Structures are given as structure tokens and as C-alpha cells.
Amino acid sequence: MNPAHRARAQLLAYAVAVMLASALSTPAWLLAGVLAALLLAGRQALVILRRALLATLAFSAVVSATYVGHVWWLTATLPWDWLLTVNLRVLLMALLTFLFIARVNLFLALGFSRRLSFLLVLATSQALALRRTLADFRLALHSRTIRPAGLRARYRAAARAMAWLLDRALANAHESAQALQARGWFE
């Protein structure tokens, strides 16, 4: 199959899989989906599972803890079924996304649309630049800590890096929009 057609077919398959994952409400089916995604990942399964867990951990933990607290306060019971369903669904969607990004050339997949390709180029260039700076934040903390950095220093450095990234991402997005406007994008 032509590489571009193959990438587009994979994009379609990914979109269908994500919609299915959002529609499933039985923990057993969601667990089967997670196992299937890991099987598809092959040798990369552990790396992709780790990425998906790290990416969803904070969000899932906060949502789960809040909902469990709420249900416990009202009924003095634990919503095990809900917890399993929601967390497996989030994990499955993250796994599918990381698997898709690892396997598919996004530029080929979105090649059918000039506008989507432009947006992908903009997003990728921003992400690469921000990733370089994020690496510098980590190295700078390392270079300034005489003993291995303590928790307080790590939290402060991480918070500062996140705040900087948000500021920079907003400023970059604003500049990109201005550049697109200057080149007639919104005409």
C-alpha cells in the first residue's frame, strides 16, 4: 500500500478505536482493549505503557480521589466499578494515542489537508523548541544542586518550568496566529 494511504488508514483506525474506547462501559472489555493495545505495541509495550501511565497518573488520581471522596461522603460505599471503568478507559485512550504517535507518520496521515498539515508543522516546531528548553530546566537544576536536589527544590523547579512553558506556549501561539494572519491565513 502507498505509505500515505497506509498512514491515513491508520489515522482512521485510531479515530475509530478511540471512539470505541469512549463508548465501552464494561471493565472487562476495556481491559481486553488495553491488552490488545499492548500486544499491538510489541517490543515497545513496556515503554508505551510507562508513558501512558505517567501521562495519565496525575489526572486520573485527582479525578478518582475526588469522586471516591464524594461517593463515600454520600453513601459510605466505594464505587469500584466506576473507578475501574474510568481509569481503564483513560489508560486505553492514552495507550492508543502513544501507540499511534510511535507507529504513524503524522505528516503523511494529515497530508490530505493543507491546513491540518500547517497546523501540525506549527505544533511540532513549538513542541520541539519547548522540549529543548524543558531539558535545559532539568540540567540547570542539576548543575545548581550541590547535593542531589531535595523535594522542595524539585517541586519549585518543576512548578517554575511548567509556568514558563505555559507562558511561552501562549506567547508562541499568539505570535503564530499573528504570523498566519500576516500571511493571509484568516482571509
Q: Per rule CB under 8 A, is residue 128 in the interface with other proteins? A: no
Stretch that binds other proteins, among 65-73, 75-83, 119-127, 136-144 (CB under 8 A): 136-144
Residue 163 C-alpha cell reads as 509556568
Stretch that binds other proteins, among 1-9, 18-26, 113-121, 155-163 (CB under 8 A): 155-163
Q: Per rule CB under 8 A, is residue 142 in the interface with other proteins? A: yes
- Which of 5, 50, 70, 160 binds other proteins (CB under 8 A)? It is 160
Q: Per rule CB under 8 A, is residue 136 in the interface with other proteins? A: yes
How buried is 106 (Cβ within 10 angstroms: 0-12 exposed, 13-18 middle, 19+ buried)? middle
Least Cβ distance, residue 96 to other proteins (angstroms): 26
Angle between helices 27-41 and 80-103 (to 10 degrees): 20
Q: Per rule CB under 8 A, is residue 130 in the interface with other proteins? A: no
CA distance linking residue 120 with residue 112, whole number of Å: 12
Q: Per rule CB under 8 A, is residue 133 in the interface with other proteins? A: yes
Residues of 152-185 as b/e, b for ≥16 C-beta within 10 angstroms? eeeeebeeebeeeeeeeeeeeeeebeeeeeeeee
CA distance linking residue 133 with residue 167, whole number of Å: 13
- Which of 68, 161, 169, 180 binds other proteins (CB under 8 A)? It is 161
Taking alpha carbons only, the member of 144, 17, 158 closest to residue 89 is 17
Nearer to other proteins, 138 or 174 (CB): 138
Give me the residues that bind other proteins (CB under 8 A), please. Answer: 133, 136-137, 139-148, 153, 156-157, 159-161, 163-164
